[in-house]
Amino acid sequence: MIKTIKVGMADLNIVESPGVLLTLGLGSCVGIALYDTEKQIAGLAHIMLPSSKSINNNHNPAKFADTAIELLIDLMTEKGAIRKNMLAKIAGGAQMFSFKNSTNNLLNIGERNVLATKKVLNGFDIPLVAEDTGGNFGRTIAVYPKTGVLFVKTINHGTKEI
């Protein structure tokens, strides 16, 4: 029986092979998968917002791209993963609803989450090897630490592996 660890919204976790990390229904949130296939350790974060710096109430590191990635790296390194082996794949960042003439700057939050995620990964020198982002639909994803495969499932837009 393969151990499956569910990662909720504004949550993160790590797993060693043969485990699997799973997060359900990414909308505007971004799923950030880091993995070291040599040590067969992976981490997954389900972030909601780009930056902990612009919010007062920021005590949950898993909620923000910057603090979530930093914490994933630390947790994976503690388990024996090697920082320079780490690769990243991301999914999500959709815009679920569209309005004409909206004044709500949170509507494009998906896109901003993706941009912030890429910037933070870049800052930590972790290569982003694949992404399935944008669009107007939800995604469920699973990451496998042995291969680094990221499995993406949608309701009306098929399934794929990246």
List residues binding another protein (CB under 8 A): 8-11, 24-29, 48-49, 55, 57, 60, 63, 94, 96-99, 102-104, 106, 109, 136-140, 153, 155
In angstroms, what is the minimal distance from the CB of 80 to another protein? 27
Judged by CB, which is closer to another protein: 37, or 67?
Answer: 67
In angstroms, what is the minimal distance from the CB of 75 to another protein? 18
Judged by CB, which is closer to another protein: 103, or 127?
Answer: 103
CA distance 150 to 19: 13
For residue 142, count other CB atoms closer than 10 A to its CB: 19
CA distance 80 to 39: 7
In angstroms, what is the minimal distance from the CB of 56 to another protein? 8
Judged by CB, which is closer to another protein: 89, or 139?
Answer: 139
Q: Are strands 128-133 and 87-92 parallel, antiparallel or unpaired?
A: parallel
Judged by CB, which is closer to another protein: 84, or 103?
Answer: 103
In angstroms, what is the minimal distance from the CB of 159 to another protein? 12
Residue 102 designated active-site: no
Which of 20, 26, 29, 48 is flagged as catalytic?
A: 29
Catalytic residue numbers, as ranges: 29
